[in-house]
Amino acid sequence: MIIDVHTHINNYHEDRVVSLNESLDKLSENMAANNIDYSLVLTSYKVNEHRPSTRQVVEAIKGYNNLGVVSGVSYLHYNHRDVREISEYLENGFIKGLKFYPGYEPFYPNDIRFKLMYEMAIEYDVPVMFHSGDTYAPTGKIKYSHPIHIDDLAVDYPELKIVICHVGNPWIKDCMEVVYKNKNVYADISGLVLGDFSDKFERYMK
């Protein structure tokens, strides 16, 4: 069974609006073309006409038995209503994990503001995922997204299952030291390139 643990259905080409159903249809087509059995859809740290909310995605995938949702959480904007919704979704199994976006938002992973979120993830035994490494937008502040900062969190929350996204690219060796050192830390290899691999980059990654 092949599971894609890191997909997005955001519309990054914001010159036109793409419906949520269109995005899900495109994802389903790509999954079929690449023999993917199950995919996790990660929602964003911000919500607008190009980036659907966790609630919208949870509702939209109810007809799909091969899709799950990981809830994106905003450091700057989450509130008590978000906490209640996430808790309810975790309790009912509607979301499979939580995703945080250091670099895109200015915080380090061990920030006390997310303590409750981490405790909920432990209680419901779901992983937390962190953007790590370079940011798609040049306005990101990559000092926050260096994978080395995950080490503090892993030590402080040994029962928390942590995924470092994008294998910390370009700090791949630093990322893998954090994974090697901490038994509760993993990495995914999503989003390493925009478009196709070049031969040189593929050799480097291997």
Count of domains observed in the chain? 1
Is-contact 168 133, C-beta < 8 A? yes
pTM above 0.85, yes or no: yes
Residue-by-residue pLDDT tens, the chain, 206 positions = 999 999 999 887 777 888 999 999 999 999 999 999 999 999 999 998 889 999 999 999 998 999 999 999 999 999 999 999 999 999 999 999 999 999 999 999 999 999 999 999 999 999 999 999 999 889 999 999 999 999 999 999 999 999 999 999 999 999 999 999 999 999 999 988 877 888 888 888 78
| Residue 166 CA neighbour count, 13 Å, CB half | 21
Other C-beta atoms lying within 10 Å of the C-beta of residue 143: 11
Provide the sign of the torsion angle of the four alpha carbons 186, 146, 148, 171, taken in this order: positive
SS3 content of the chain, % helix, strand, coil (to 5): 40, 15, 45
Q: Which domain holds residue 152?
A: 3-205
**CATH code for the domain of 56:** 3.20.20.140
